[in-house]
Amino acid sequence: MISRPKPRVLIAEFMDEPAIDALRARHDVRYDPDLFGKRDELGREIGLADALIVRNNTRVDAALIAAAPKLRAIARLGVGLDNIDQETCKKRGIAIYPATGANARSVAEYTIAAMLFLQRDLWSSNAETGAGKWPRLEFSNTGEALGKTLGLIGFGQIGQLVAKLAMPFAMRVVATDPAFPDASPLWAQTGVAPRSLAELLGESDIVSLHLPLDATTRGLLDHAKLAATKRGAFLINTARGGIVDENALAKLLRNGHLAGAVIDVFSDEPLKSGSPLAGLPNVWLTPHVAGLTREANARVSAIAAEKIDQALRN
């Protein structure tokens, strides 16, 4: 009997080792966590691949897909699909498997931590306290979460979990999402009040983004909408950078209309030097890590491995 060669799985970004080992038991696996940054090598390797596993750094565009005649499935170690040419995949019959829900808890916890961090203005104390300045009086003007209004733009799985985690702080939570009309039973079930985007921006003390980047959301928070936020509000973005006009955001943070922001995602990643957000005293920047924890990595990796294994065996 002639044995068939094992299907080839190409993993172009970091993945949990036990999940990789599970794939190796049935498939020929090529794993290079830095391959996404080596475009020429990626282009050669993809030509041999039956399946591809990526995070958000790998640009799976039409050119890369054209170089992959055997490609049958793509797994995304996360949920956002804006780095994958979905239309070309559809035409080619290539299945796409996001790890939906696997990192929701990590993103939600990050959001709550950012919210509390912003309320207490904690970033400003570290250097001064370490230098012996003891800036205790300034902190009498920081705030609590109690009684504040948290506005969620996007009320999918992550947004709903953020709302659930915020409730014990006795916060008032409002949200906007075109997928859920005002008559949806979800609002009563979650205790969250539906709002239009304009209403939400005008009444929220903290605005947090939890929606995908697509044609309808790109540039959603432009200068006019950001300027319509409640004066002294805070902004948290763990969704996608392209949703927010970064120049407008920086301007409103500088002039004090927005009191502060925690930004985890950017229009161009990695964030380029000279960004208008860099160096602002009331902004905390992180490198797209809201969904990255040991636990989330294990979950997304296990889901991706299972989906690819099933796709190739079928």
- Of 8, 240, 246, 299, catalytic: 240
The sheet with strand 283-285 has its strands ordered as 193-194, 172-176, 149-153, 206-209, 233-237, 258-263, 283-285
Co-location of 124 and 252 in the same domain: yes
Does the annotation count 26 as an active-site position?
no
Q: Are 16 and 151 in a shared domain?
A: no
Does residue 3 fall inside a structural domain? no
Q: In sequence order, which ranges of the chain are alpha helices (DSSP H)? A: 17-24, 39-45, 62-66, 86-92, 104-120, 126-130, 157-166, 186-190, 197-203, 223-227, 246-254, 294-313
Residue 192 tokens read as: 């969250």
Question: How far apart are the C-alpha atoms of 296 and 201, rounded to whole Å?
Answer: 31
Which of these ranges, 75-79, 98-102, 139-143, 211-215, has the smallest mean pLDDT? Answer: 139-143
Q: Does the residue 36 lie in any domain?
A: yes
- pLDDT beyond 80 at 3: no
**pLDDT value for 248:** 98
Where do the H-state alpha helices sit in 137-176?
157-166
Encode pLDDT of 17-61 as tens digits: 999 999 999 999 999 999 999 999 999 999 999 999 999 999 999
pLDDT at 2: 56
122 and 66 within one domain:
no
Domain that holds residue 76: 8-100+294-313
* pTM of the complete model: 0.91
Please check whether residues 165 and 50 belong to one and the same domain.
no
Average pLDDT over residues 65-69: 97
Mean pLDDT of 217-229: 98
Average pLDDT over residues 130-152: 90
Q: Judge whether 277 lies within some domain.
A: yes
Q: Give me the count of residues in the chain.
A: 314
Candidates 195, 210, 288, 299; catalytic one = 288
pLDDT in tens, 20-29: 999 999 999 9
- Residue 190 within a domain: yes
Task: Choose among 286, 270, 215, 235: nearest CA to 56.
Answer: 270
pLDDT of residue 122: 79
Q: Is residue 1, in this structure, part of any structural domain at all?
A: no
Mean pLDDT for 185-201 is 98
CATH number at residue 200: 3.40.50.720
Instruction: Tell me which of 269, 294, 295, 299 is the catalytic residue.
Output: 269
- Give yes or no: 288 in active site: yes
Q: Which residues, 6 or more positions from 242, have their beta carbon under 8 angstroms from its beta carbon?
A: 82, 213, 217, 218, 219, 267
Q: Do 262 and 309 share a domain, yes or no?
A: no
